[in-house]
């Protein structure tokens, strides 16, 4: 199972705070954190929210759906 975390990013030029979701990336013995979450939707920039609760809600959705954000099903005609 993938590990995620939420980081607090503060921009002093615009005086704004954003909460960004990061995914843990492992290769052999090394590990790092990336903002590229590997979702099945186009990701333009980091995924996050202006509030911690919003970022937590999005992170839980990603965990529950295992990164598959769009579900399709055939419809008979």
∠ CA(29), CA(26), CA(28), 5° rounding? Answer: 30
Residue 70 lies in a domain: no
Handedness of CA 37, 1, 18, 47 (dihedral sign): positive
pTM exceeds 0.95 for this model? no
How many separate domains does the chain show? 1
What tokens appear for 3 in the block?
């590990």
Query: What is the rounded radius of gyration, in angstroms, for the C-alpha atoms of the chain?
Result: 15
Residue 60 lies in a domain: yes
Residue 75 lies in a domain: no
Write out pLDDT tens, residues 7-55: 999 999 999 999 999 999 998 999 999 999 988 888 888 999 999 999 9
Residue 43 lies in a domain: yes
Residue 51 lies in a domain: yes
Q: Which domain holds residue 34?
A: 4-65
Residue 76 lies in a domain: no
Residue 71 lies in a domain: no
Residue 72 lies in a domain: no
């Amino acid at each position: 199972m993938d590990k995620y975390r939420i980081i607090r990013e503060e921009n002093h030029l615009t005086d704004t705070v954003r909460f960004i979701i990061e995914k843990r990336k492992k290769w052999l013995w090394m590990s790092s954190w990336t903002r590229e979450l590997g979702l099945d939707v186009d990701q333009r920039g980091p995924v996050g929210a202006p509030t911690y609760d919003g970022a937590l809600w999005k992170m839980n959705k990603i965990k529950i759906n295992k990164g598959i954000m769009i579900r399709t099903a055939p419809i008979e005609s």
